[in-house]
Amino acid sequence: MSSNGQHGDAALGAYQAVADEWIDNLRRISRLPALWQRAQRVKKGATPSEVVYEQDRLKVLHYPGTGRAKHRTPLVFVFALVNRPYILDLMPDRSVVRQFVDAGFDTYLIDWGAPTHADRHLTLETYVNGYIENVVDYLRERCGVSQVSVLGYCMGGTMSAMYTALHPKKVRNLILLAAGIDFSTRAGLLNLWADEENFDVDAFIDAYGNCPAEFLQGSFMMLKPVANLVDKPIGLFENIDNDDFLDDYFTMETWLNDNIAVPGEVFREFVRKLYQQNQLVRNEMTVGRHIVNLKRITCPVLNLMAERDDLVPCAQSEPFNDLVGSNDRRSIKLSAGHIGMAVGSRAQRELWPKACAWLAERSDRA
């Protein structure tokens, strides 16, 4: 074959490859309108539940499971105020809630609801010594026990630690999941952004009333701007024919974009007293008129941390075990991110069975 013929075949092959890619991209584009309908079909919460307690905007969900609970000590999940709690029960095979229900725990979850402008004056005192305290007392009465186990995630973990320090006789076991405790670390962008030199929290809350959901969502997105704004859309386009990928993608994105505002005074306290003044580890933190002394936490403690956490670095969580008064303390680190600790396949396979076993050993049998 002549060199001209070889060059012609190569050019034709290259042209055919470009044409095939162009046609394939057009086909993918034609599927984009159907994605909106798919996104609207996402179910929020995978495990059957019932509302058993309500106060103001707060609801407590109970997960009855399919059989009688094996453990008499109830477990209550305390989530953060910045997102919806169904990340803990995202999908049937990615549910922290289901892990504990299937392990025989009488399981409950606090859904804080979405605050309005009228809630801007709510404080940490309202949440810790008000809402959490009322839920714990309700569960003690409902279940006929003197103590409950508490699992707090992220900001909910920080509030759970405060609650346990203030009401140590009511908590049987405390599990913290990616909870900020020591804010002296400079690791992580949030710690830098919230620094007093960079962020005037008083001016911010005085202007807005509540911390807007859009502000929080934008901040979280900017922690990894390329991954969130470039890689993620490209990944969606390239996997538009993969139904399993689309199910995971839209379920996760629905939650990520379901942010809620944080009551202004709670946000002000959290930023000033923790991020800027690091009062909790110094036993200077006040909730209302009460000083939070972490040494008063004497129950068993399980501290779960994510090694690739961009929101709550391990350095922010790890000191907790040395600050409490408990003799029964354990830490587990997992190579995962902040959200991966809840929904990641490795966390579901390795971390949560260990956490269930740990709690079972320290809970009363039914």
In the numeric block, the tokens 């909790």 are attached to 280
Fold of 50-361: Rossmann fold (3.40.50)
Per-residue pLDDT of 99-144, as tens digits, reads 999 999 999 999 999 999 999 999 999 999 999 999 999 999 999 9
Catalytic residue among 71, 119, 338, 356: 338
**pLDDT value of residue 234:** 80
Q: Out of 119, 154, 182, 211, pick the active-site residue.
A: 154
The catalytic residue among 62, 299, 309, 356 is: 309
247 is catalytic: no
The rounded distance, in Å, linking the Cα atoms of 291 and 273 is 12
* pTM across the whole model: 0.88
Is 121 known to be catalytic? no
Q: Is the dihedral of CA 186, 218, 347, 242 positive or negative?
A: negative
Confidence bin at 319 (pLDDT 50/70/90): very high
CA dist 340 and 345 (Å) reads: 8
Pairing of strands 329-334, 301-306: parallel
pLDDT bracket for residue 289 (50, 70, 90): very high
> Is 338 labeled as catalytic in the residue annotation?
yes
Q: How far is residue 64's CA from residue 352's CA, in Å, rounded to a whole number?
A: 19
Q: Band of the pLDDT at 228, cuts 50, 70, 90?
A: confident
State residue 48 phi and psi, 5-degree precision: -55, 135
Residues 230-273: tens digit of each pLDDT: 888 788 777 777 878 888 887 888 888 889 999 999 999 999 99
